[in-house]
Structure 1
Amino acid sequence: MSASEYFRAKLQFEIDVMDVAHAAPGSLVVVDTRRQSSWDHGHIPGAVHIPTAHIPAVTPDMIPTGSQVVVYSWGPGCNGSTFAALAFAELGYSVKEMMGGIEYWIRNGLPVETSSGMSSQKPDPLVTAHT
C-alpha cells in the first residue's frame, strides 16, 4: 500500500470534532464509549452511552442497522474509541472514530452535558479557529 492509499483509506474511518458538531441533525449516531463515571462527568449532548465492552450485546437493540456511527472516548492519548470502532465494524456498522475525543470537543468550546445541565468552556486558541 502506498502512502497516499493509506491516508485516503484512513480518512474514510475518521471524523473531525467540528465535522461532528456541524453534521446535519440525525445524520450521525454519536456513541460515547467510556465508562459510566466518565459519562457522568460530561458527554456530548445527544450522544448514546455504550461502554466498549457492552457494544456487542446492546448495540443491535439500540442502534438501527445502516446508521452512520461515530465513536469517541477521552482523547488522543486513549485508544478506547479504536477498540469501540472495531466492535461496531465487526457488527457490520458503518463507523468512524472522532479524532481528539471529548478532550478536543471541550477544547473547541463545544457544549458538554451532565446531570446538572449544559456547559462549555472558552475555546482553546491552540486547537480551534473560533474567535
Structure 2
Amino acid sequence: MSFVTETAAAPSRLALAHFEAQFRFETDCWDVHDALSTGKQDFVLLDVRGSEKYAAGHVPGAVDLAHRKIIGSKMAAYPDGTLFVVYCAGPHCNGAARAAIRLARLGLPVKLMTGGITGWLDEGFSLERSALPAAA
C-alpha cells in the first residue's frame, strides 16, 4: 500500500462537491488571461504584493493594492457586487489569501487567482511594468 492509497479517496459525491466548490473560491491564470484578452473582464484584478513589486512587473490591467491596504473606505469606490480577483507572488506566498480574507470580512465577493505571478509567467503570459509612485 502506498501513501497515496493509505487514506481512501473520498466518495465520488463528496469529491464532486469539493472540486465544484473550488471554482467558487479560485480561478486560474488562464481564465483571467482569457477574460482580459477578449474584453470579457467582469471583475477587478488586484495585485496585492505592494507597490515596488507591482512596478517591477504585474499582470496587465491589475490594480495595485497591497493586502494590508484593503480597507472599507478604499473598497467603497467600487460598485456593489463587484467581484475582486486577488493574486500575489505565487504558491509560496499567502498574500492573496490574506487579501481574500480582508475582502470577505468587508462583505465583498472575492476569488483567488491560483499561481499568482509565478503561474502567470509559467503560462507564458507577459507582465507590464510601471513607474513607482512619487513619495508623498
Band of TM-score, shorter chain: 0.7 to 0.9
Which segments of structure 1 move beyond 6 Å, counting only runs of 4 or more? none
1:77 to 81, 85, 92: 92
2:110 to 95, 107, 122: 95
Q: Which has the larger radius of gyration?
A: 2
**1:8 Cα deviation (Å)?**
2.4
Question: How many residues are matched?
Answer: 115
Q: What stretches of structure 1 of length at least 5 have no aligned partner?
A: 117-131
Letter in 2 for 1:59: M
Bigger relative CO (Cα 8 Å, ≥ 6 apart): 2
> Matches of 1:34 and 1:59 in 2, distance apart?
17
Scaled by the length of structure 1, the TM-score of the pair is 0.79
Q: Does 1:6 align with 2:18?
A: yes
Q: Does 1:52 align with 2:67?
A: yes
Superposition RMSD on alpha carbons, in Å? 1.8
Which residue is 2:134 aligned to? none
Aligned residue runs from structure 1 range 1-131, under 5 A: 2-23=14-35, 24-57=39-72, 58-61=74-77, 63-115=78-130
Query: Which structure has the highest strand share of the two?
Result: 1
Cα deviation, 1:54-108, whole Å, max 9, x if unaligned, reads 10142223x3221111000000111110110111111121110000001111121
